[in-house]
Amino acid sequence: MDLGPGMGMEGTLLSLMGIAVTEAAPERVVATMPVKGNTQPYGLLHGGASCVLAESLGSIGSALHAAPLDKVAVGVDINATHHRAVREGLVTGVATPIYLGRTTTSYEVVITDERDRRVCTARITCQLIQAPPGS
């Protein structure tokens, strides 16, 4: 999915982790991520992988909100609660805004497994800063 100028995914952590964005707007960002390749030594989905997915979705939504303001989004806080283990398949993350302001945004990100069971709930806050020249 093309997310616009400055938002290419090639060569990024999202690409390396197999994250595929399927929907992107300031009001809702959705992506999937495979469990395989994103596990900890016990074969369970790594909590850090869930955080990467959550931060990515909240940052994309924040960036899309910031663009018309001639600003860019930078993450300043993330927290996550891991509810259940996943060993295989895909997880899906859905980010919805809690707050969309002129200087900050906050998103709730719910990550579910293929049976639509909640795996993780995260919250990310981004600061909106003036876009650097050429961005």
* Token reading at 44: 């369970």
Active site residue 27: no
Mean pLDDT of the residues in the chain? 93
pLDDT in tens, 31-69: 999 999 999 999 999 999 999 999 999 999 999 999 999
What's this model's pTM, rounded to 2 decimal places? Answer: 0.92
Query: Whats the size of the chain, residue-wise?
Result: 135
Q: Which of 10, 55, 88, 108 is catalytic?
A: 55
- 37 near 88, Cβ under 8 Å? no
- 124 near 77, Cβ under 8 Å? yes
